[in-house]
Amino acid sequence: MKNLSIIDEFVLLGLSTDPDIQTMLFVLFLGTYLLTLMGNLMMILVIRADPHLHMSTYFFLGHSSFLDKCHSSVTIPKMLQNFLSQRKTISVWGCITQSFFFTFSGGTETCLLSAMAYNHYGAICHPLLYTVIMNGSLCIAMVSAAWVMGLLNALVNNLCTQNLQLCGPNIISPFSCELLSFFPLSCSDTMPNTILLTGSSAFLGLVTLPLILFFYSKIILAILSISSSKGQGKAFSTCSSHLTMVLLFYGNALFRYISPSSGSILGRVVSIQYGVITSLINPLIYSFNNQEVKAALQRMLRHQVCVSGFKQRWQYDACSNREPIYKGREICKLRACVVLHF
C-alpha cells in the first residue's frame, strides 16, 4: 500500500461543527449504539437459550443479529470519539480497515437475506417437507456461503485500492469510510475500481434480489390460496418481519449507491439510517412482530424470577438453621416452576 503514503490521515467532516450539537449527537448515538448492542445480544441469547427456537428460522436470525452488532461496531465507536475530539481524523489504515468491514458486513447481509427468504418459502409453500428441506447441514452451508461471499467481495475490492494514488484532498464526508469515499480523493484513474465495485455490487444484487422476489411471489400465491383468514394472517406474520428488513436494507443501499455524493443532507440521513438505524430496529422488528420470540422472552423472564425466588428461599432456610431440603409440596412447586418456565 505504498502508494497511499502521500496521505497519512483523513479528516471526517461528521454531522455538525457546533460543539453543543456535537454533545447532543454524542449522547444520542451513544444511546443508540448501546440499545443496538443490547437488542441484538438479547436476541442471540434468547435464540441460544430457548429450545423452542432451535430451528432454521432462528438460526438465520441469530446470525443476522450478530452481523447487525458487528455492522454498527464498525462505524459508531469512531464517530463517538470524533464527537468529543477537536481533530476528527482517522488513519489511512484505519479507514481502509473500516471500509473493508463495512463492505464485508453489507455483502454478507445481502446473501443472508436471500437465505432467509428461501427458508420462509420452504416453511409456507412446502410445510410438510420443510424439516427435510431445511436440515442442519443445508442451513450451515447457506450461512457459510453468505459469509464467504461477503468476505470475497470485501477482500477483492479493498485489495484493489492499493492501485490508487491518494494525493488529496483528505476530507471524507460525513462520518465513515466507504469504498466510494476513496475515489474522489485519488489523482489516478479510478475507473477500474469503480467498474469492479459496481460490478460486484450488481452481481450480489442481481443474484440475491431476484431470488428474494421470486420466493416472495411464490409465498404470496401460497398465502392467497389459504381459505381461512386466520391462516392467511398467521402465514403473513411469519415472513412480515423479514420482508420489512429486506425493504429497509435494499431501499437504503440502492439510494446510497445510486447517489454516491454524501455531502447533501439527504445523503447524510441515508448514511445514518444505513449504518446506524437499521441495525437498531432489526431486533425490535422481530421482537414485536414474532410471537415465538415474545413467548421465549417471557419464558426467560419467568425463569429468572423463579430461580431468584428459589435461591432466596434456600438462603433464608440456611440462615435460619433450617435444613434446606424441599419435600412434599415444596418440591412439587419447584418442579411445576421448572416445567412451566423452561
295-342 pLDDT, tens per residue?
666 676 666 555 554 455 544 444 554 444 444 444 444 444 443 333
| Dist. CA 134–CA 116, nearest whole Å | 11
- What are the Cα distances from residue 296, in Å, to 6, 43, 209, 327? 55, 10, 31, 30
C-alpha cell at 169: 484532498
| Dist. CA 231–CA 237, nearest whole Å | 10
Q: Is 245 helix (H, G, I), strand (E, B) or coil?
A: helix
pLDDT digits (tens, 9 = 90+) for 35-51: 888 888 888 888 887 77
What domains are defined for the chain? 2-289 (1.20.1070.10), 302-341 (no CATH)
The region that residue 328 occupies, defined by phi over 0 for left and psi between -120 and 50 for alpha, beta otherwise, is left
Cis peptide before 324 (omega within 30 of 0): no
Q: Is the dihedral of CA 283, 285, 288, 293 positive or negative?
A: negative
- Asked whether the beta carbons of 112 and 250 are under 8 A apart, the reply is no
Least trusted range by pLDDT, from 97-101, 120-124, 170-174: 170-174
Residues 194-219, mean pLDDT to the nearest whole number = 84
Mean pLDDT of the chain: 75
> Residue 60 pLDDT > 80, yes or no?
yes
Categorize the per-residue pLDDT at 106 as very low, low, confident or very high, splitting at 50, 70 and 90: confident
> Residue 126 pLDDT > 80, yes or no?
yes
Of residues 342 and 83, the one with the higher pLDDT is 83
pLDDT confidence of residue 261: 52
pTM reported for the whole predicted model: 0.77
- Asked whether the beta carbons of 143 and 63 are under 8 A apart, the reply is yes
- What are the Cα distances from residue 233, in Å, to 64, 124, 212, 223, 238? 25, 12, 20, 9, 9
First to last CA, the chain: 55
pLDDT confidence of residue 147: 92
| Dist. CA 44–CA 59, nearest whole Å | 9
Q: What is the separation of C-alpha 283 from the centre of its chain, rounded to a whole number of angstroms?
A: 8
